[in-house]
Amino acid sequence: MIGVFDSGTGGLTVLQALAHDLPGQRFVYLGDHRHAPYGNREPEEIYQLTVAAVERLFGLGCRLVVVACNTAAANGLRRLQQTWLPSHHPDRRVIGVLVPMVEAITGVPWMADIRTGRHRGEPRTVAIFATRHTVRSGAFVEEIGKRAPEVTVVQQACPVLVTLIEQAAPEAVLRRAVRRYAALLMRQLGGVPPDAVILGCTHYPLISGLFAEALPPGVEMLSQPDITARSLAAYLERHPEFDTADGTDAPPPRFFTTGDAGKVSALATRFYGRPAVFEPIGAA
């Protein structure tokens, strides 16, 4: 099985794209709703919670896990891959949603030797809307800068937006919040529209229309779920040992939560696009 992990429910937008594009793969989803949102926690705590969640998915039989949480990926995925995984589970792998976005923006494969040459495309500006922790980590700025220094990256934190989405706030409330964050971004840019926008939180695709409405016409909006799905398909081609397909459509994904399974299941349909019944799993 392939595990998909998020701090809460937003990762279901990624799972939906994965299941649609890779119908032969068997997926299991884990939401750490007991500790959500991660954006208000300290980096070390985010890392430890991520390790605990990955360990649980390994315990459910997953050999490959997709960290579908930008905050978790930005604050500790590299450390998890380089230190914890080799010493605890050397035969398993963990990947995240941040890498595919960096590759899509820069056109440079993640494993490319960036010391021997950098991508030199047309100068452009990419804007990122994300949680406060993802912005503070600087992960997008750092990794894009290594590979494509001609790309200017401007970040805008969106405090409380995840909470509003999780609470199913009225559209008028969400629209006001998105307009406020879009206005702050445009102020940073001196009124000049960015060439492209990344919705750097898995919750945000649910209100992508509000972002498009709040931004100037013609700004390209990159879909993180779709890009992640394409990236996973390419990864499985390179690493067939993690491919769970057997030539037939896989059964529906299983869903687990560290929180209240009933409440999470009721909310999940909005994110997954169809009923998603969660099972409880003990929290670390």
Return the active site residues: 69, 201
Would the annotation count 181 as a binding residue?
no
CA dihedral 131, 136, 141, 142 (to 10 degrees): -130
Would the annotation count 195 as a binding residue?
no
Would the annotation count 6 as a binding residue?
yes
Would the annotation count 29 as a binding residue?
no
Would the annotation count 71 as a binding residue?
yes
DSSP code per residue over 181-218 = HHHHHHHHTTTPPPSEEEE-STTGGGGHHHHHHHSPTT
Strand partners, 130: 157
Q: Where are the alpha helices (DSSP H) in the chain?
A: 12-21, 43-59, 70-79, 85-88, 98-106, 132-137, 139-147, 161-166, 171-188, 208-214, 224-238, 261-272
As a whole number of Å, the CA-based R_g of the chain is: 18
Query: Both tokens of residue 2?
Result: 């392939």
Would the annotation count 107 as a binding residue?
no
Would the annotation count 203 as a binding residue?
yes
Would the annotation count 116 as a binding residue?
no
Spatial contact of 69 and 10, defined as CB atoms under 8 Å apart: yes
Question: Which residues carry a binding-site annotation?
Answer: 6-7, 38-39, 70-71, 202-203
Question: Which residues carry a binding-site annotation for substrate?
Answer: 6-7, 38-39, 70-71, 202-203
